[in-house]
Amino acid sequence: MPPLPFPLPSPSLLLLLLGGAFALQAANALRPLRWPGVLSAASFFAGWLTDELLLHHLGWQLAAVLGLVALGALATPLGWAGLGLSVVAWGGLLLALRRSRRTADILEQALQQGFEGHPEARAAEAQRWRVDWWRIAWVVPFRRRDVEVQRDIVFATPGGKPLKLDVYRARGARGVAPTLLFVHGGGWVVGSKNAQGLMTVNHMASCGWTCVNITYRLSPRATFPDHLIDVKQAIRWVREQGRAHGCDPDFLVIAGGSAGAHLASLAALTPNRAEYQPGFEHVDTTVQGCVGYYGVYDFADRHHHWPHREFRLLLELLVMKKRQRDAPEAYEAASPIAQVGPHAPPFLLFHGDHDSLAPVDEGRAFARALRAASPEPVVYAELPGAQHAFEIFPSIRSTLTMQAVERFLGALLRRRPSDVREQILEPRVQRAGDLVEARDRR
């Protein structure tokens, strides 16, 4: 084997370098950057992978340090310095882990406050929160064995481009069930139904719901409101063709993450608007509820929550393709916060207080606007330490969040008369709001 053109660093130096990297990683997870834009995006990516995979990071870091120690890294002061930095980093990760365990208390409080004074609140009563350690260990949100999927069903062909959706159901389910439609994120320019929303649709399908995960046209080829029209087309598909695939056309809740939360909430707040339903104006596009993960709710940025100009450039150059100062009415129409009113359906909103991409202040403002305008339940959960995209991986935080979604949707389902619920859901998955209690008894 030919000699390397450069000498390998000693184990002591490697341990020092790794310890420094571990310390920076932990510091970023505990306090990520929110500006300038490019650095905030890098801070998000590093913090997201660290905070949602805390146990995995602790494991591989410990293994790396022990391996270097076995190679003699502690023979010099550099190695001891690296070990000290590593220990400090582990302390930071343990603090982040403790912070994520507070998620259950935050969710409990949010559900109780959101449903206060509503008769369906019984479905949001206190329960034993469960951390699914088995799923967390596998890192990726694999499909549950009790869920089956119909993939790539074409629901619309705007401009000749086929738009596809996947349908998730409990294995062996018969008849129709209440339906959850998920809209992926990705800044309106990227993203896929194959990589986002998987935890939500798999979990709720296992609870007896029919879940639909959709695609839509992306910018820069698409110009808003093309994206929203595609989401409305998916609602049309559920209403007109979904019954053959297990969808209840009369009970539909929409959900999404990031840009998908923007589109989902906008669809929920603009039912039956003809300008967003070209060629299918006759279809009823009302929904019975909306779930938003770390959404963008104000294109006009009326409260100046965005600390950097990259978001404005994204909208003006790629999504809206017009400057806000030239078309303020278009930005207002594209802002869910400007569409709230007494017609708003129930909302469940999640936002991380460490979100580097979508400011948490915007989530707070949207929740306040909904509560001020709508008599319906508004559940807003601000999760300590959570970054953007926190529910992509199975983690302590995301597995608890799925249970909150289950309870919220179960509460909405209780609004239906019991005889109607029993006709819709087969006996083994009846009353999704009660399923947690049934599992606990088993």
Q: Are residues 339 and 239 in the same domain?
A: yes
347 falls within a domain? yes
Does one domain contain both 203 and 283?
Answer: yes
Cα angle, residue 211 at apex, residues 206 and 214 outer, rounded to 5°: 140
Choose the final residue of a domain: 79, 100, 121.
100
Rounded Cα gap, residues 268 and 346, in angstroms: 9
8 Å CB contact between 177 and 425: yes
pLDDT bucket at 428, cuts 50 / 70 / 90:
very low
- The amino acid at 71: L
Catalytic residue among 86, 219, 258, 265: 258
What's the token pair of residue 237? 């598909």
Question: Which among 257, 135, 143, 155 has a CA at the least distance from the CA of 205?
Answer: 143
Residues 94 and 172 in one domain: no
- Do the Cβ atoms of 282 and 295 come closer than 8 Å? no
- Main-chain dihedrals φ then ψ at residue 127, nearest 5 degrees: -145, 175
- Which residues form the domain of 53? 11-100
Closest CA to 400 of 109, 32, 57: 109
For tokens 């300590």, the residue is 384
Going by pLDDT thresholds of 50, 70 and 90, the confidence category of residue 281 is very high
What pLDDT, on the 0 to 100 scale, is given for residue 426?
46
Distance CA 211, CA 204 (A): 7
Judge whether 5 lies within some domain. no
- Looking at residue 422, its pLDDT comes to 56
Q: What is the CA radius of gyration of the chain?
A: 23
pLDDT of residue 125: 56
Same domain membership, residue 344 and residue 263: yes
Active-site choice (166, 351, 355, 398): 355
Q: Are residues 289 and 326 in the same domain?
A: yes
Q: Which of 296, 387, 361, 383 is nearest to 33 (CA)?
A: 387
Verify cis geometry, omega within 30 degrees of 0, for the bond prior to 3. no
Pair 264, 256: CB distance under 8 Å: yes
Q: Quote the CA–CA distance of 182 and 216 in Å, as a whole number.
A: 11
- Domain annotation covers residue 158: yes
Question: Does residue 258 have an active-site annotation?
Answer: yes
List, as one string, the DSSP characters of 68-132.
Answer: HHHTTGGGSHHHHHHHHHHHHHHHHHHHHHHHHTTHHHHHHHHHHHHTTT-GGGGGG--------
Do 163 and 47 share a structural domain?
no
357, 434: one domain: yes
Distance (Å, whole) CA 212 – CA 214: 6
Beta strands in 157-203 (DSSP E): 163-170, 177-183
Residue 221 CA to residue 434 CA, distance in Å, equals 44
Cα–Cα distance between 104 and 440 in angstroms, integer? 17
Identify whether 184 is a catalytic site residue: no
Domain boundary among 77, 100, 123: 100
Of 57, 203, 227, 388, which residue is the catalytic one? 388
Q: How far apart are CA 37 and CA 406, in angstroms?
A: 35
- Dump pLDDT digits (tens) for 361-414: 999 999 999 999 999 999 999 999 999 999 999 999 999 999 999 999 999 998
- Same domain? For 279 and 375 the reply is yes
Classify residue 187: in a domain, yes or no.
yes
**Domain contains 68:** yes
For residues 145 and 343, the model is more confident at: 343
Provide the H-helix boundaries in 103-258. 103-114, 133-137, 198-206, 226-240
Together in a domain, 113 and 95: no
CATH value at residue 170: 3.40.50.1820
Q: According to the model, what pLDDT value does residue 383 have?
A: 98
Torsion of CA 197, 204, 100, 434, to 10 degrees: 160
Instruction: Please state, as a whole number, how many other Cβ atoms lie within 10 Å of the Cβ of residue 94.
Output: 13
Kindly state whether residue 6 falls inside one of the protein's structural domains. no
Which segment of 202-206, 352-356, 417-421 scores lowest on mean pLDDT?
Answer: 417-421
User: In which band, very low, low, confident or very high, does the pLDDT at 143 lie, cut at 50, 70 and 90?
Assistant: confident
Strand-pairing partners, residue 253, are 180, 289
Report if residue 253 sits inside a domain: yes
Is residue 17, in this structure, part of any structural domain at all? yes
Same domain, 67 and 127: no
Report the chain's mean pLDDT, rounded to a whole number. 91
Q: How confident is the model at residue 122 (pLDDT cuts 50, 70, 90)?
A: low
Number of domain units in the chain: 2
Half-sphere exposure of 215 (CA within 13 A, CB side): 24
Q: pLDDT category, 430, cuts 50, 70, 90? A: very low
As a whole number, mean pLDDT of residues 11-38 equals: 92
Shared domain for 65 and 178, answered yes or no, is no
The counts of H helices and E strands in the chain are 15, 8
Its pTM surpasses 0.85: yes
Work out the pLDDT band at 315, boundaries 50, 70, 90. Answer: very high
Q: Which of 39, 74, 100 is the last residue of a domain?
A: 100
Let me know whether 96 and 108 are in one domain. no
